[in-house]
Amino acid sequence: MGLIVQKFGGTSVANPDRIRNVAKRVARTYDAGNDVVVILSAMAGVTDGLIHLANKMTETPDRRELDVLLATGEQTTAALLSMTLKSMNYPARSLLGFQAEVKTDCAFGNARIVEVGAGQIKNLLTDHNIVVVAGFQGCDTEGNITTLGRGGSDTSAVAIAAALKADKCEIFTDVDGIYTADPNVCNKAKKLSKISCEEMLEMASLGAKVLHLRSVEFALKHHVPVYVRSSFNEEEGTMLINGEQDMERPVVSGITYSKNEARITLKKVPDQPGIAAKIFGPISDANINVDMIIQNTRAGGQTDLTFTVPKNEYQKALDLEREVAQQIGAEDVFGDDNIAKVSVIGVGMKSHSGVAARMFSALAKENINIIMISTSEIRISCVVEQRQAELAVRVLHTAFGLDRE
């Protein structure tokens, strides 16, 4: 018996039958004597559909109004689940983000949770209700509806679990745990019974969308016990653990990929102090995140500079750099959004050499060209052509001995 937060993702609530299954699962947890708070995503495809609809009205939808629109996806499922539970004679109550006191900053479309009040949730639990909260949404100090960024209902769940000091937070999704690589891309991927928050943070930031990055940050900071499980079976899932795992660990623990990248090159840039600041100043002013940067020196006091940005910021970044190029006298600016970033990740890499060499030779064997490279203590990433991303994941998975027997 305890307080359990259960989050169900888009595929888990994709249609009425699945919502009924979710209701049964929630009811079972409640019948076992637990207090239950449920966090829901929108039905699979609905958020994409709403964005599409907004783009039919205008190419640049107002960000505040877009959040008002996007939040309706989760409002729908929260109401549908609550009415289903009530029809089964369970005391349920749905709450929107603002009613659950999910307070955020005002960055529409990518808001950060600042605080979760949860007073109303606690009162409803005291009266033995099952509380169903619309995920992905919150409210800023002015009372505007905000959304937390794509995939953000994981973060709603973990943040609410943290505020309630829940005994556990279960993330139910369409795979039965966290794997060494996306199991939908690499059929030899292995399910992990546990993973450290440190590694999961890296995996999430490098493309493993099974958990929203900020949900892992919350789990780490507030010591929330998080489990990732399937909503379609009873399999044990993967437990997120705080701190180092066992001493005996593989050097590489996972492979990820992300197609959400684009690169921009400035050709023949004058090689002088202050040039990098001129190139990246406008990008940073526009709140665009730059990830990898490489600079090659040419003869004659000139250099080529290439960097990557998120794909959805590509056009904006390219336009900004065209202006910069004129100001600094660079010869040309061009870019490519047909790329992907493939990464090998492992806390064990800290104490091992040779990981990079093994990665490069495995990719070379399959004729996969490496366009850019970046490294940190616990990961190495390579940019490759987008069409080779999945192949690269599989090749690296095998090369680092991660394949299931």
For the bound state, the minimum distance from the C-beta of residue 213 to ligand ADP, rounded and expressed in Å, comes to 12
The pattern of x and - marking residues 43 through 62 that bind ligand ASP according to CB under 6 A reads: ----x---------------
For the bound state, the minimum distance from the C-beta of residue 11 to ligand ADP, rounded and expressed in Å, comes to 5
21 and 11 Cβ atoms separated by less than 8 Å:
no
For the bound state, the minimum distance from the C-beta of residue 156 to ligand ASP, rounded and expressed in Å, comes to 8
Asked if 218 is part of the footprint of ligand ADP (rule: CB under 6 A), the reply reads: no
| Side chain identity at residue 32, one-letter code | A
- Which residues on neighbouring strands pair with residue 295, listed in sequence order? 305
Partner whose binding site includes residue 266, from ligand ASP, Mg ion, ligand ADP, none (CB under 5 to 8 Å by kind): none
**70 vs 251, beta carbon nearer ligand ASP:** 70
Asked if 147 is part of the footprint of ligand ADP (rule: CB under 6 A), the reply reads: no
214 and 168 Cβ atoms separated by less than 8 Å:
no
Which of 209, 222, 278, 322 lies at the binding interface for ligand ADP (CB under 6 A)?
209
Asked if 150 is part of the footprint of ligand ASP (rule: CB under 6 A), the reply reads: yes
Q: Which of 151, 386, 360, 111 is nearest to 261 (CA)?
A: 386
**40 vs 283, beta carbon nearer Mg ion:** 40
The pattern of x and - marking residues 129 through 168 that bind Mg ion according to CB under 5 A reads: ----------------------x-----------------
Which of 14, 42, 317, 383 lies at the binding interface for ligand ASP (CB under 6 A)?
42
Alpha-carbon span 76 to 89, nearest angstrom: 20
Site size toward Mg ion, by CB under 5 A: 2
Start-to-end Cα distance in the chain: 38
Which of 98, 108, 136, 307 lies at the binding interface for ligand ASP (CB under 6 A)?
136
Question: Taking CB under 6 A as the criterion, which residues in 151-170 touch ligand ADP?
Answer: 151
238 and 192 Cβ atoms separated by less than 8 Å:
yes
The footprint of ligand ASP (CB under 6 A) covers 9-10, 41-42, 47, 73, 135-136, 150-153
The footprint of ligand ADP (CB under 6 A) covers 9-12, 41, 151, 173-175, 178-179, 181-184, 208-210
